[in-house]
């Protein structure tokens, strides 16, 4: 099963991708995570990507394609790619999604989701109010101290939402035309959003072997 997750920053792509990948045994490929790893390792790619990320803009298509390519397989969930029409067209040459899950969240909710997000180096993601760790500021899974992403500060958050509206939103129509788009109400709780996604994925059209 090849899944693409689509939706604005903060809609819950990463949160749901982890749950889907666990339940359906799919690899989780997050371009955001891969780029942040490159930034932390200060690779050439990472240094280039950081300039765009700090401004709330998308990194160059070719650069992001190169980091996503090795992760493409028949059992994968793509979280954060494609993010514009050009990337979708480039992707089509070697990867055709079975289903595109479009997580729809009211724009006024997104700012609160993103500014309250707390992340761990281990990949775990929390929210100060909606999904707090057991001990404040400390990861449940690995006991490390949580941090706030630079681009989760309010000024950058607003820019990222603008970037989404301009560049990513057109992908909704693009995949609708291909009849593989399923829209999910992402305003619900993490648990209820996941239920809705599972209902869609359990429809055997998308899981021919299960």
Binding site for ligand ADP (CB under 6 A): 7, 9-15, 31-32, 35, 52-53, 56-59, 64, 80-81, 83, 87, 113, 116-117, 125-127, 130-131, 151, 160, 189-190, 193
Q: Which two tokens stand for residue 51?
A: 């300039």
Q: Tell the smallest beta-carbon distance from residue 130 to ligand ADP (Å).
A: 3
Q: How many distinct helices (H) and strands (E) make up the chain?
A: 9, 7
- 36 included as an active-site residue: no
DSSP-assigned letter for residue 150: G
Q: Which two tokens stand for residue 181?
A: 């788009």
Decide if residue 153 touches Zn ion (CB under 5 A).
no
Q: Tell the smallest beta-carbon distance from residue 84 to ligand ADP (Å).
A: 7
Q: Tell the smallest beta-carbon distance from residue 206 to ligand ADP (Å).
A: 21
Q: Are β-strands 125-127 and 99-104 bridged in parallel, bridged antiparallel, or unpaired?
A: unpaired
Q: Tell the smallest beta-carbon distance from residue 18 to ligand ADP (Å).
A: 8
* Nearer of residues 73 and 189 to ligand ADP, judged by Cβ: 189
- 118 included as an active-site residue: no
Site string for Zn ion, 105-124 (x = CB under 5 A): ---------------x-x-x
- Active-site position among 19, 149, 169, 176: 149
Residues 6 or more apart from 103 whose CB is under 8 A from it? 5, 6, 7, 11, 12, 13, 16, 184, 186, 193
- 145 included as an active-site residue: no
Residue 35 interacting entry, from ligand ADP, Zn ion, none, C-beta within 5 to 8 Å by type = ligand ADP
> Residue 156, class by beta-carbon neighbours within 10 Å (0-12 exposed, 13-18 middle, 19+ buried)?
buried
Residue 110 interacting entry, from Zn ion, ligand ADP, none, C-beta within 5 to 8 Å by type = none
Of 5, 3, 16, the residue nearest 113 (C-alpha)? 16
For the sheet with 27-30, list strands across it: 27-30, 76-79, 2-6, 99-104, 181-185
- Cβ-proximal residue to ligand ADP, closest one: 32
| Residue 30: φ, ψ to 5° | -110, 115
- For the annotated catalytic residues, the residue numbers are 13, 83, 117, 149, 160
């Amino acid at each position: 099963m090849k899944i693409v997750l689509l939706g604005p920053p903060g809609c819950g792509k990463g949160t749901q991708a982890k749950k889907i990948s666990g339940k359906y045994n799919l690899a989780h490929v997050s371009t955001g995570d891969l780029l942040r790893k490159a930034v932390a390792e200060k690779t050439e790619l990472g240094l280039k990507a950081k300039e765009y990320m700090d401004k709330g803009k998308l990194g160059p298509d070719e650069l992001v394609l190169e980091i996503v390519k090795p992760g493409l397989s028949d059992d994968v969930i793509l979280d954060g790619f494609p993010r514009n029409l050009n990337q979708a067209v480039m992707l089509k040459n070697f990867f055709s999604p079975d289903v595109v899950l479009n997580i729809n969240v009211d724009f006024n909710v997104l700012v609160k989701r993103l500014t309250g997000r707390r992340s761990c180096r281990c990949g775990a993601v929390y929210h100060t109010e909606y999904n707090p760790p057991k001990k404040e500021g400390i990861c449940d899974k690995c006991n490390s101290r949580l941090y706030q992403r630079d681009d989760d500060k309010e000024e950058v958050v607003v820019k990222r939402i603008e970037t989404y509206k301009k560049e990513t939103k057109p992908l909704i129509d693009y995949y609708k035309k291909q009849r593989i788009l399923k829209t999910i109400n992402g305003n619900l709780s993490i648990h209820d959003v996941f239920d809705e996604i599972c209902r869609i994925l359990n429809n055997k059209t998308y899981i021919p072997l299960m």
